[in-house]
């Protein structure tokens, strides 16, 4: 689930709390009691407040951790020349991301400002790794890089949320890895087809749209 601070080969108390919080919030939702997170981490609730200040502080730290995991594992696919090999490597390891994916789904379910900030963080990262993909020659340049990144991000997160395998209060993290594998196998082929073999056979609709918005015929 990404790197964690360690001393003498063991996780620090802060890292244990963060690891436990991501898993617990994924399983039971972001309203899960701090005492439950503390029990999972083998610490006191007071120590959580010492390290993170409040429940919101802990959730913000979880958000930052999840964004770091996404950044580390998405960028090599489209940026830096990793290409298909990097993508297949990530898919082969997808079961290990179950708590992170579960956490993201729970944050989206909860809504509110922190969920919006998390999505904005994903969008910001997507702008950067798509830019890297452009530099590597594997992604086409965009007229509006941020808008493209937001659409792709919201579509991906929305599809995951729609397919969430547990709409009830508890999400079984033991079952989630298998679901993630099946979900990936179902969508990767069609997505790659859409991205590499565009659905529309010509660009007349795009040209008409751009001209209607700008008053000028688009460059080809």
CATH number for the domain including 93? 1.10.357.10
In this structure, is residue 8 part of a structural domain? no
Contact by Cβ (8 Å): 98, 43: no
In this structure, is residue 119 part of a structural domain? yes
Count of structural domains, the chain: 1
Tens place of pLDDT per residue across the chain (220 aa)? 444 454 444 579 999 999 999 999 999 998 999 999 999 999 999 999 999 999 999 999 999 998 888 777 765 665 555 555 555 556 566 777 888 888 988 888 888 887 898 899 889 988 988 998 899 898 999 999 999 999 999 998 888 888 766 556 788 888 888 888 888 888 889 988 998 998 999 989 999 998 898 887 777 6
In this structure, is residue 27 part of a structural domain? no
Nearest Cα residue to 74 out of 110, 99, 100: 100
Question: DSSP state, 3?
Answer: -
Q: Where are the beta strands (DSSP E) in the chain?
A: 6-7, 10-11
In this structure, is residue 93 part of a structural domain? yes
Which residues are CB-neighbours of 217 under 8 A, at least 6 positions away?
207, 211
In this structure, is residue 167 part of a structural domain? yes
Question: DSSP state, 203?
Answer: S
Contact by Cβ (8 Å): 43, 6: no
In this structure, is residue 191 part of a structural domain? yes
- Cα separations in angstroms, 107 against 14, 47, 60, 100: 21, 23, 11, 11
Instruction: Note down the domain range covering 69.
Output: 56-214
In this structure, is residue 172 part of a structural domain? yes
Task: Specify the residue for token string 């749209």.
Answer: 209
In this structure, is residue 106 part of a structural domain? yes
What sign for the dihedral angle of Cα 28, 174, 152, 58? positive
165 burial class (0-12, 13-18, 19+ CB within 10 angstroms)? middle
**What does the pLDDT read at residue 25?**
94
Locate 122 and state its tokens: 């994903």
Locate 41 and state its tokens: 């981490």
- Phi, psi (5° rounding) for residue 127? -55, -45
Nearest Cα residue to 130 out of 36, 138, 110: 138
């Amino acid at each position: 689930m990404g790197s964690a601070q360690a001393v003498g080969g063991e996780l620090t108390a802060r890292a244990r709390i963060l690891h436990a919080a991501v898993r617990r919030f994924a399983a039971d939702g972001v309203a899960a009691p701090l005492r439950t997170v503390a029990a999972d981490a083998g610490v006191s609730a007071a120590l959580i407040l010492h390290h993170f200040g409040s429940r919101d502080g802990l959730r913000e730290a979880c958000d930052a951790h999840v964004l770091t995991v996404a950044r580390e594992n998405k960028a090599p696919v489209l940026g830096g020349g990793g290409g298909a090999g990097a993508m297949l490597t990530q898919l082969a390891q997808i079961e290990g991301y179950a708590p992170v994916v579960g956490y993201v789904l729970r944050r989206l379910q909860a809504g509110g400002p922190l969920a919006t900030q998390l999505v904005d963080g994903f969008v910001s990262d997507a702008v950067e790794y798509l830019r890297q993909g452009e530099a590597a020659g594997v992604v086409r340049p965009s007229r509006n890089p941020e808008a493209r990144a937001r659409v792709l991000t919201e579509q991906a997160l929305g599809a995951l949320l729609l397919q969430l395998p547990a709409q009830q209060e508890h999400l079984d993290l033991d079952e989630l890895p298998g679901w993630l594998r099946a979900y990936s196998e179902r969508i990767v082929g069609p997505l790659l087809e859409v991205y590499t073999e565009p659905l529309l056979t010509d660009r007349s609709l795009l040209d008409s749209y751009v001209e209607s918005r700008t008053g000028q015929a688009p460059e080809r």
